[in-house]
Amino acid sequence: MTKPIRKAVLPVAGLGTRVLPGTKMVPKELLNVVDRPILAYTVAEARAAGIEHFVFVTGRGKQAIEDYFDHHVELEAQLAAKGKTGQLDELLAELPRPGEMSFVRQMQPLGLGHAVWCARDVVGDEPFAVLLPDDIVDGETSCLKQLVDAFGQTGGNLVAVEEVPHQETRKYGVIDPAGRDGRLISMKGMVEKPSPDQAPSNLAIIGRYILQPEIFDLLSAQEKGAGGEIQLTDSMAKLMTRQPFHAYAYDGVRYDCGDKIGLLRANVALALKRPDLGAAARRAIEDLLG
Ligand code: G1P
């Protein structure tokens, strides 16, 4: 029997340098895609996978994230007074139940492995999910739900992967596949940000993980890897020698919202899909394209 995945860690301390200058004062996770912050999509994906508790790993200048998930008393009162119940309901639907979210500070930008390690006390001794909010993953079934379903069969640890162009391997953690059964891939190893000539494959780890709590013991060694950072991939590669570890080729489309063009693509694609906005979005885009 595997324990259920109840908690998710969301590292949100990054500075968003690829989408400056807008992210100088606004956390990149709060940039709007269509009409809600990137983070709202991540939380919705996690909820659809059964996540009950969210652990945000934040840093300086990120307080607005905590405020987004709380009541805005003045705004709510004004919407109620003006009878804008649709907008009010939508706003309230984004809120967590009290106590469902925790916030821990990373304090120093030492890498993704360090950010995840900062959540260790809140996660405790149970398997958990990690979602990197840079990526919005759109699909029929929530990407994390696909991992959770696969976890029901495999137990152990899982990472979501997708094929990327070979010349882009140095942007990702890349797996060394050993075999494949449908979407489930067994692995011999994984390496963080390899150059194309060193990469064991073009199967890149995207920002969705299910990990066993033993990862925290490995992360506590605080060893530096690629780019001089404490890398999650390095500790996962070690955990793989001791526990079951699979990759899962998820079904869906990923938008890298930590990148200017990725963010634009997400806005266009998700606006076109919206029942209430799709037709108007299409007209506007066609008009622009002349
Ligand atoms: C991080 C991880 C990397 C993963 C990527 C997915 O890198 O370290 O293994 O492939 O996220 O987006 P970052 O994008 O923070 O450089």
Closest CA to 59 of 20, 138, 141, 115: 115
149: CA distance to ligand 1 center in Å?
23
> What total of structural domains would you count in the chain?
1
Pocket flag, ligand 1, residue 207 (CB < 6 Å): yes
184: CA distance to ligand 1 center in Å?
20
Supply the range of the domain harboring residue 87: 7-152+207-222+253-289
Cα dihedral angle (204, 149, 157, 163), rounded to 10 degrees? -10
Burial class for 286, CB neighbours closer than 10 Å (0-12, 13-18, 19+): exposed
Give 267's DSSP letter: H
Q: 73 falls in which pLDDT band (50, 70, 90)? A: very high
Residue 71 lies in a domain: yes
Q: 23 falls in which pLDDT band (50, 70, 90)? A: confident
> What are the pLDDT digits (tens) for 187-204?
999 999 999 999 999 999
Minimum CA distance residue for ligand 1 atom 9: 173
Residue 79 lies in a domain: yes
Pocket flag, ligand 1, residue 204 (CB < 6 Å): yes
Closest CA to 129 of 43, 203, 192, 70: 43
Instruction: Judge whether residue 2 has pLDDT over 90.
Output: no
Pocket flag, ligand 1, residue 38 (CB < 6 Å): no
Residue 72 lies in a domain: yes
Instruction: Judge whether residue 25 has pLDDT over 90.
Output: no
274: CA distance to ligand 1 center in Å?
29
Q: What is the pLDDT of residue 1?
A: 63
Average pLDDT of the residues in 74-95 = 94
> What are the pLDDT digits (tens) for 124-177?
999 999 999 989 999 999 999 999 999 999 999 999 999 999 999 999 999 999
- Return the higher-pLDDT residue of 16 and 238: 238
Closest CA to 256 of 188, 183, 204, 197: 204
Pocket flag, ligand 1, residue 192 (CB < 6 Å): yes
Residue 106 lies in a domain: yes
Ligand 1 atom with minimal separation from the 14 CA: 15
Residue 123 contacts residue 54 (beta carbons within 8 Å): no
Closest CA to 239 of 211, 267, 262: 211
Q: 287 falls in which pLDDT band (50, 70, 90)? A: very high
Average pLDDT of the residues in 31-39 = 95
Ligand 1 atom with minimal separation from the 227 CA: 16
Q: What is the pLDDT of residue 14?
A: 86
The CA-CA-CA angle for residues 20, 9, 47, to 5°, reads 100
180: CA distance to ligand 1 center in Å?
23
Ligand 1 atom with minimal separation from the 206 CA: 6
CATH of residue 89's domain is 3.90.550.10
Residue 103 lies in a domain: yes
Min mean pLDDT across 121-125, 209-213, 259-263 is at 259-263
Residue 243 lies in a domain: no
Strand partners for 186: 179, 246
272: CA distance to ligand 1 center in Å?
28
Instruction: Judge whether residue 223 has pLDDT over 90.
Output: no
Residue 192 lies in a domain: no
Give the predicted TM-score (pTM) of the model: 0.94
Q: What is the pLDDT of residue 24?
A: 87
Quick check: helix, strand or coil at residue 58?
Answer: strand
CA 62 vs CA 25, 31, 102, 141, 290: distances in Å = 9, 12, 14, 30, 40
Ligand 1 atom with minimal separation from the 233 CA: 9
Residue 139 lies in a domain: yes
268: CA distance to ligand 1 center in Å?
24
Q: Probe ligand 1: pick from 172, 211, 233, max atoms within 8 Å of CB?
A: 172
Q: For 241, phi and psi rounded to 5 degrees?
A: -80, -10
Q: What percent of the chain has pLDDT over 90?
A: 89
Burial class for 167, CB neighbours closer than 10 Å (0-12, 13-18, 19+): exposed
Helices (H), the chain: 38-48, 63-68, 73-81, 85-93, 112-117, 120-123, 143-154, 215-219, 232-239, 260-273, 278-289
Average confidence score pLDDT of the chain = 95
